[in-house]
Amino acid sequence: MSSPFPYFASATVVKGFGRGGKELGMPTANMERSAVEVLPEELHTGVYYGYGCVDSGPVYEMVMSIGTNPYYNNKERSMEVHLLHEFESDFYGSDLRIVIVGFIRDMSDFPSLDALKAAIANDVLVARERLSEPSALAFRDHGHFEST
């Protein structure tokens, strides 16, 4: 089986459940359903890392989940992107472009909200470390992020 990386995607940001920022302290940008429907099978349920940008803005490191988020018993598969930058406001309706460059872990259930938060905090640390490697940095300035 060949590697699915890098994987490039672009979609409109849509409203999610509103839990990322409120409950988890990690606001997420949910990609519209059409982006989820075309994911290759190799991008199975899990947590990934890469880069992303909103509209024509700067490119930021990101960590994201692909799946149903078992802790919350979601039924539909989603792509939830957490850009590692503090934004002043929501950006629903904006264009979100991402490149996934690697895999962190399988998605799993957690015994508590605190355990989930701890796992997410670790995911961010892992993503930052791996995104500092030259093989990952090469994608930060990729043409995918240029204005069209």
Give me the active site residues, please.
80
- Say which residues have a Cβ less than 8 Å from residue 65's Cβ, sequence separation at least 6: 28, 46, 47, 48, 78, 79, 80, 107
Strands 78-83 and 46-54: unpaired
77 vs 90: CA distance, rounded Å: 22
69 by Cβ neighbours in 10 Å (0-12 / 13-18 / 19+) ranks as buried
Closest by Cα among 69, 56, 60 to 17:
69
